[in-house]
Structure 1
Amino acid sequence: QIAIMTLTLFPIRLLFAAFMMLLAWPFAFVASLGSDGKEPEQPLALWRKVVDLLLKAIMRTMWFAGGFHRVAVKGRQALPTEATILTLAPHSSYFDAIPVTMTMSSIVMKAESRDIPIWGTLIKYIRPVFVSRSDQDSRRKTVEEIKRRAQSNGKWPQVRSLTSVVNGVCAVPFFSGAFIPGVPVQPVVLRYPNKLDTITWTWQGPRALEILWLTLCQFHNQVEIEFLPVYHPSEEEKRNPALYASNVRRVMAEALGVSITDYTFEDCQLALAEGQLRLPSDTCLLEFARLVRGLGLKPEKLEKDLDKYAENTKLKKGEKIDLLEFAAYLEVPVSDTLEGMFSLFDESGSGKMDLREYVVALSVVCRPSKTLDTIQLAFKMYASPDDGCISEEDLSCILKTALGVAELPVTDLFSAIDEDRKGRISFADFTRFADMYPNFAEEYLYPDQTRFESCTQTPSAPTPNGLCTDFSPESTD
């Protein structure tokens, strides 16, 4: 079917889609002139209403030609005066643009998109909230703009906030930006009830162009849009945007029939990362990663400072610190989240922790596939300044922390590395052994333990608030 459609219907659909976008461009260009940052006039001028109808008709024709012959709509879209923000899930496909073009509602998107030829002009027409990645203050400005529009009493187009569900299996935490204004929102759920899933994007698998190609090779594609009742926040939810986002997520998850997980996509990437030290199933590093983000720390930004953290920690020479000192080290206030993280390293319950363990765990979270980089960093902190070597006890502590487990037998591994029976090993000894036996972890550390398997294996049932290990469509053939 793919071969036949590629040679016949696919090029026709592609050319027709390009033609419809070119047809829509002059209308969007004229209508968006001089509109940047200006509040839309109320009521809309007649010519703008005509342009709006024309663009909706053109876009609907484009989707029809692409195989979306029927768009099933359930429920009623609220008026801007009833709900100024629409929260849409799952944000799992480039075809999430279908409801956007049907309603011409605004969306939050990266500022670079407005520079895309033709498509950028169409985007500007719907008056999006642009987010600039190069502007460090962009997050605050975005929230302020959403709040300004939300409190305009329906003068601005509704803002559509895209939220995520992992491959239709689990609802992951929503960003709280759309919930900060504390105004009523209308949840909107999308379903693509097709026999084959050629629509959902993946980070490990088909890319954008391949998804577009496979979808346009389907003769018929289905999409359902359901507008749920408007959600009115309580006073507590207005004060706590994270709670507001969590409760709306629960409503949308129930409508989609999926479970809820507090793990993010980055956490799952950590679990599935390839490397010589793949994480076992009972690791606590997923919880550690969640707590790191809960403190407002971003591992992707902390990676460049790992060496600095290691040097500062090395000066303490293994001296243990208490909760208040840990808070000062991270430059964050004491909170339940911080106490939860502290308890991960205070296994004995003495009220003290070793900062070296925190740095090792952070290194794994920042670069999960770079095993030797983490081990090298650990050697810098644990090695004796005299000979640059560590003991078996040190190796046990390093590997237990790097794997996020409480118990780990390392005697056999240490003996295998320590060929000269010195009772101490250097990083050079470790790397030489790792080069000779790249699968040393499976043989020496956890030969009988269960590890996270390939992401193409589907779990028997998603566990509420558990880890979703499946990122692939149900039909992996």
Structure 2
Amino acid sequence: MNGKTISETRTFSRDDMRAEILNPFVHKLELDNTFEKIRTAIFTVILLPFRVIVILYLIVTAWFLACIGLYGLSEEDLRRAPMTGWRRSLKPLICFIGKMSYLAGGMAISIRGRQASRKEAPILVVAPHSSFLDSCIVYATKMSSVIVRKESMDNYVGKLINYTQPLYVLRDDPNSRQNTIKEIIERATSKENWPQVLIFPEGTCTNRSCLITFKPGGFYPGVPVQPVTIRYPNAKDTVTWTWEGPGALKLLWLTLTQVHSSCEIEFLPVYYPSEEEKRDPKLYARNVRDVMAKALGIPVLDYTYDDCKLQQRAKQLGIPGAAHLRDITELRASLGLSTNNRELELVNPSLASKTRWVDYNTFASWLGLPYNRDAKRLYDIFLHHGTELVYFPDYLVCACFLACQHEPLSVTLLYAFKIFTPNEYGRMNERNYEELVTRCLGFGPEETVMTFREADPDGKGYITFDDFIKYARTKPELEFLFAKDTTHKPKSQ
């Protein structure tokens, strides 16, 4: 069994048995054929400039009206009491101009259902959140109060956002989350005539393939909420803005060069929480999410943004089992492995003297697991076709990656060196090095050969962990090994 090739040890039967875990943070967008490319080029010349000019004119007009409405009001005034009188009467006009700016860009906004009054539902819960163009919901809901980062107000759009009397989140405030929840509760339960509070509970943009975990902040008040769904039923999806995919400018360009696009906003019936839901905001959030997912006809996925960032990073690095990282995380937690990090104790030179291909009984025994369903599920994730065995180093690498996910990647690499070094001296030959870097750094064959030889300038035929780290520190492209956060930075949402 020890003679298995690299390609064989990287094949997971579970990848063949079921679809890869849905990743709601990826969006692929390309012009598929020559016709689309030619049409886009033509519309870029003859349609785009006209649309941009009209949109800018409308935005500036709305901004000017907002400036008039905010004249004489401080930020403290906006947070202390709702607008009244002539200031409030400007809102319908600004909303009309806002809707016209979308129509000028070729996007028609259609509304289904009825928006509840603030008395019926002080909070509007909007999902899925998939684009910066979702801001149309502010105009469609008569300028409901949004939740925004305070630093986002330092631009010309800030005046328009301020006119909604938003709830501010201060990124540098360690108590920001608690303060925001407190302010949401105060707004939602106030007897004054505040605008409804508008919340995107997913907290980030997805590709609308599912609804991810709802953050419970908007459900703490325990008041009725109105679920609101957004759809973009277009032949070409030029609006979805996820952390892996086209940037904002490309999406805006492609959207404005479409002949026509549309957005559908649907107000669902008001959701009245039970006493149990009032006591448990997370339960309340889950149940509202289920209602919205059913209305949209899409699944729910208990993923957070950080979960998928970690999974995507694992896939890029070639970490074994990366496609099932969420499942592995949950199973390790249920089996107590994530608490004691039992796997790290198994990373020692004696591993090299053991058989690396193990059956279920050996797998469970080495990890000190009970013979139950969760242990078998964890084993099955790493099971190989043909052998019906698990290549134990694959599991250890994945477990070390998860155990050290908040540390620099070099820490995981240290454990991986011990896993794949066949002797107690810590010396690794080129074959073992290839097995290591394809699983931990995502290196291809050419990169593997080049880096090994550069890390072994004397031609000894082997390298140690210290040799590799010394080499890596001289290479700017390997700086990510030493960064505290090795995940890709998301786009600003």
Q: What SS is found at the alignment partner of 1:106?
A: coil
**Secondary structure at 1:109's aligned position in 2?**
strand
Q: Which residue of 2 aligns with 1:112?
A: 151
Matched, 1:245 2:282: no
Check whether the contact 1:143–1:177 (CA below 8 A) recurs between aligned residues. yes
Task: State the identity as a percent.
Answer: 39
Q: Aligned to 1:26, which of 52, 57, 64? A: 64
SS at match of 1:87: strand
Matching of residue 348 in structure 1 with residue 369 in structure 2 = yes
Gaps of 5+ in 1: 298-308, 319-342, 351-355, 404-423, 435-477
Counterparts of 1:76-95 in structure 2, within 5 Å, are 76-95=114-133
Match for residue 278 of structure 1?
319
Pairing 1:27-42 to 2, within 5 Å after superposition? 27-32=65-70, 33-38=72-77
8 Å CA contact 1:174–1:246 kept in 2: the answer is yes
Residue 229 of structure 2: aligned partner? 189
Calculate the TM-score normalised by the size of structure 1.
Answer: 0.65
1:389 aligns with 2:389: no
Question: Cα–Cα, structure 1 residues 291 and 259, in superposed 2: closer, same or farther, change >3 Å?
Answer: farther
Find the aligned partners of 2:97 and 2:331 in 1 and give their Cα distance. 44
Counterparts in 2 of 1:104 and 1:430: CA distance versus 1, 3 Å: same
Query: In the aligned structure 1, how far is the partner of 2:243 from the partner of 2:145?
Result: 26
What is the alpha-carbon distance in structure 2 between the residues aligned to residue 239 and residue 19 of structure 1? Answer: 48
Alignment of 1:255 with 2:255, yes or no, is no
C-alpha contact 1:171 1:249 (8 A) present in aligned 2: yes
Instruction: State how far apart, in whole Å, the 2-side matches of 1:290 and 1:238 are.
Output: 30
Q: 1:63 aligned to 2:84?
A: no
The aligned counterpart of 1:203 is 243
Stretches of structure 2 lacking an aligned partner (at least 5 in a row): 1-38, 350-363, 372-395, 441-461, 473-493
Q: Which of 235, 253, 261 is the aligned partner of 1:221?
A: 261
CA distance, structure 2, for counterparts of residue 254 and residue 154 of structure 1 = 34
CA spacing shift, 1:344–1:37, aligned 2, 3 Å: farther
Q: CA RMSD in A?
A: 4.4
CA distance in 2 between counterparts of 1:377 and 1:67 reads 55
Bigger shift: residues 177-186 or 273-282:
273-282
Q: Is the 8 A contact 2:320 2:398 kept in 1?
A: no
1:12 maps onto 2:50 in alignment: yes
Distance 1:127 1:344 in 2: 60
Output the amino acid matched with 2:115. Q
CA contact (8 A) 1:192 1:223 kept: yes
The reply on whether 1:2 has 2:40 as its aligned counterpart is: yes
Residue 266 of structure 1 corresponds to 306
User: 1:345, 1:250 → 2: CA distance?
Assistant: 40
- The equivalent of 2:388 in structure 1 is none
Equivalent position SS for 1:135? coil
d(CA) in 2 for partners of 1:344 and 1:72?
A: 60
Residues in 1 aligned to 2:181 and 2:66: alpha-carbon distance in whole angstroms? 26
Per-residue CA deviations over 1:225-267 (Å, capped at 9, x if unaligned) read 1000111111111111111111111111011110011122332
Query: What is the letter of the counterpart of residue 66 of structure 1?
Result: G
For 1:115 and 1:291, locate their aligned partners in 2 and report how far apart those are by CA, in whole Å: 44
Equivalent-residue separation in structure 2 for 1:121 and 1:52 (angstroms)? 13
- What is the SS of the residue equivalent to 2:75? coil
Query: Do the aligned partners of 1:267 and 1:286 also contact (CA within 8 Å) in 2?
Result: no
Deviation of the 1:155 alpha carbon: 1.9
- Contact map agreement 2:206 2:241 (CA 8 A) in 1: no
Quick check: 2:127–2:201 contact (8 Å CA) kept in 1?
Answer: yes
SS of match in other structure, 2:120: coil
SS at match of 2:184: helix
Q: Secondary structure at the match of 2:146?
A: strand
Deviations 1:177-235 (A, max 9, x none): 11111111100001111111001112222101111111111121111110001111111
User: Does 2:205 match 1:170?
Assistant: no
Match of 1:133 in 2: 171
- Aligned residue pairs: how many? 361
Name which of structure 1's ranges 95-104 and 243-252 shifts more when overlaid on structure 2: 95-104
In the alignment, which residue of structure 2 is the partner of 1:232? 272
State the partner residue of 1:124: 162
Between the aligned partners of 1:175 and 1:345, the Cα distance in structure 2 is 38
What is the CA-CA distance between 1:44 and the residue it aligns to? 2.8
Q: Give 3-state SS (helix, strand or coil) of 1:171's partner.
A: coil
Distance change >3 Å, CA 271–CA 85, structure 1 → 2:
same
Structure 1 residue 431, shift from structure 2 partner: 8.0
Greater Cα shift, 141-150 or 371-380:
371-380
Instruction: State the distance in 1 between where 2:73 and 2:366 align.
Output: 57
| Letter of the structure 2 residue corresponding to residue 389 of structure 1 | G
For the Cα contact (< 8 Å) 2:319–2:397, is it kept in 1? Answer: no
Instruction: State the distance in 2 between where 1:382 and 1:279 align.
Output: 14
Question: SS state of the match for residue 389, structure 1?
Answer: coil
Q: Secondary structure at the match of 2:266?
A: strand
Evaluate the alpha carbon distance shift between residue 269 and residue 289 of structure 1 in structure 2; reply closer, same or farther with a 3 A threshold: farther
CA contact (8 A) 1:83 1:186 kept: yes
SS at match of 1:54: helix
TM-score, normalised by the number of residues in structure 2: 0.63
> Is the contact between residue 82 and residue 194 of structure 2 (CA under 8 Å) also seen in structure 1?
no
- Give 3-state SS (helix, strand or coil) of 1:260's partner: coil
